Chain A
Amino acid sequence: MKNILVAQRYSQAIISGLDTKEINFVLADVEIMSNSLKTEQELVNAVNSYLFPLKKRLKIAMEMTQNLKYTRLWENLFSILLKKHRFNIITDILLDLENEIFEKKNLIKVGLTIAHELPKNVLDSISTQLTDILEKDIILEIKIDPEILGGFVATTDSLLIDGSIKNNLVKLIKVKLKKMK
């Protein structure tokens, strides 16, 4: 997690050299890579490992960039990261890059946790409310967690909107306990 700050510097360096058209290409690449690397942490560790020769690791990394739209950029980034032994922060860089691009497009990714599946009209209503609160267009990532009992929890990078029944009950218990004391 300490790598967030380093990752942030890399993503800001990448984005500073892109125009609006290029940003869209990069965003598409970021989504592809994020989805594939999220589940392949072992691959990331292996590519970053000193156990294997650098040349071979570079070759694997270059192959990873072949199907992307902005191959040149990724080749350069991967080669720098490998040489600096920082390939392990690639997921953090991708995450931050995505957020930066969203920021530029006035978009925000919101993780929405609900207790059970909700009808579309309810989700739309939540989405509208969140758009009003955040003053940005939102991209919802829905997660189901029965532990929150009901209601919803929405999270962004810097905000937590907790309207869950669990949170309300916890607060109620705290108030009751305080009164009992």
Chain B
Amino acid sequence: MKIQPDEISSILRNKIKGLKFDIDISETGKVVQVGDGIARIYGMDNVMAGEMIDFPGDVMGMALNLEEDNVGCIIFGETRKIKEGDIAKRTKKILQVPVGEEMLGRVVNALGEPLDGKGQIKAETYHPVERKALGVVQRQPVKEPLQTGLKAIDSMIPIGRGQRELIIGDRQTGKTAIAIDTILNQKDADVVCIYVAIGQKKSSVAKIVNILNAKGAMKYTIVVVASAAESASLQYLSPYSGCTMGEFFRDKGKHALIIYDDLSKHAVSYRELSLLLRRPPGREAYPGDVFYLHSRLLERASKLNDELGSGSLTALPIIETQADDLTAYIPTNVISITDGQIFLNSRLFYSGIRPAINAGLSVSRVGGNAQIKSMKSVTGQLRVALAQYAELEAFAKFGSDLDKATQAQLTRGRRLVEILKQAQYSPLSVAKQTFIIFMANEGYLDEIEVENVKKVEEELYSTLDSEYKEFMESMVKDKLSEETKEAMRKICKKVLSKF
């Protein structure tokens, strides 16, 4: 085949003729200072707070400080690509992230860009990172339970869909473990999970992603990562990005759960940004609006009313304390914002009580309304018995010198503590949880040695799984009736006969 140059050039000419050339008009400013993830821009008089700024080298930024003679920006990328004197352009867009079903199963950064090497995310919808929390009219009270699969939580500190429940404790007390267990427990619950890792080691995040993958939880989970190696600006942004992704599902009438791991590091990254932007420092050098930083984020968790599809976004923020001090600045702020807290105690953790939940200091302010009725009917006694045990624990060393009633309370308390222990990555169904608590409350375990309580528990679960599947399904549907209780007592006796 011969190539005809004339023909080709005429085709090209026609193509070029058909092309429509645009003229871009953009407001610009000059970079006067850059460094530490911050840029100051001279000019850009009409820039909006939170607007995306286009820097040379395809680096994006966000305008945060609108001052009299300059604009303070945080930079989401490599600052070394930007020089003093560079031209920065306004985009007239508020920062947005991709949202939708396409995000499920993906590990993304704070801007919604993939980090898992599974290729580009073909999301068609983008939503602003900063959104106003819904108003009173659009909401309804929390009424459906969100099961964590953990006995200690589902029984004593129940969480409802749309609730904000803080997980607080020292380092290495199992805060993340509770969050991961909760994600694993949503496997058949039709709840989308978003795990936001803020300022964590990449190795820790990789470990979590591997667990979620191995347990089949990644298919309904989005992991948003702003690791310790990322700039403070990305760490600051990541929880808002994750929240926007969760809100998409909530607004579609679905249920979503978001975990912010952790907001202490988020506050630290915001402090860093604020100090670099020369905002006045306040207590512990945090800026004055550090309360608003978290309140506006956590207010976005909600349960929508029926007209809006009754979707929900439940938030489990995590806060790391220093030496179990709950009265520090950030912990008290977040405690006051949330609807309750799960306090993990390092003393309990090292004495082998895991999850190391301090029942006395933990509370769920709204979850009670959402608790399953069958569970509710057994947990009233549990809390009282545990509180009495905590009070009498100090006298335990007097042993046989104590009166019978006290000894009985101590015996019951020890067994209750034992049954509330739970291994990691092994969430339990509500029915099993209700059953074992019922068994302890009724005193069936009092005669069993503390060391053997776990064995009884295992035997109970295997008996229930093999022989009483239908009974288990029916027993959680409503409040425990006398008939159901009687049937449960029979099963308890059957299990105990083996010991």
Contacts and interface: CB of A to CB of B under 8 A. Distances in A.
B69 A8 contact: yes
A157 B25 contact: no
Interface stretch (A23-31, A36-44, A115-123, A159-167): A159-167
A15 to B, nearest CB: 16
B65 to A, nearest CB: 14
B69 A162 contact: no
A133 B30 contact: no
A5 B21 CA distance: 37
B70 interface: yes
Interface in A60-102: none
A171 interface: yes
Interface residues of A, number: 20
Contacts of A8: 69
Interface string B8-44: 0000000000010111111111111100000000111
Interface string B387-408: 0000000000000000000000
Contacts of A51: none
A151 B16 CA distance: 14
A20 B28 CA distance: 30
A5 B70 contact: yes
A1 B43 contact: no
A168 B20 CA distance: 9
B45 to A, nearest CB: 7
Interface in B67-86: 69-70, 84-85
A9 B373 CA distance: 71
Contacts of B29: 158
A168 B42 CA distance: 27
Contacts of B474: none
Contacts of B25: 133, 159-162
Contact of B24 (A2, A133, A155, A162): A162
Contacts of B23: 161-163
Contacts of A151: 21
Nearest to A168: B21
B85 A168 contact: no
Given A1-B85, A168-B21, A181 B26 contact: no
B32 A1 contact: yes
Contact of B21 (A155, A159, A165): A165
Contacts of A160: 24-28, 87, 89
Contacts of B27: 158-160
A46 interface: no
A180 to B, nearest CB: 10
B203 interface: no
A151 B22 CA distance: 10
B351 interface: no
B466 interface: no
Contacts of B70: 5
Contacts of A4: 30, 32, 42
Nearest to A3: B32
B22 A171 contact: yes
A159 B32 contact: no
Given A158-B45, A181-B120, A1 B24 contact: no
Contacts of A133: 25
A157 B43 CA distance: 8
Contacts of B28: 155, 158-160
Interface of A: 1-2, 4-5, 8, 133, 151, 155, 157-163, 165, 167-168, 171, 181
Given A4-B32, A159-B28, A181-B120, 6 more contacts: A1-B33, A2-B33, A5-B42, A155-B87, A161-B25, A168-B19
Interface of B: 19, 21-33, 42-45, 69-70, 84-85, 87, 89, 119-120
11 contacts: A1-B31, A2-B33, A133-B25, A155-B87, A158-B45, A160-B25, A160-B26, A160-B27, A160-B87, A162-B24, A168-B22
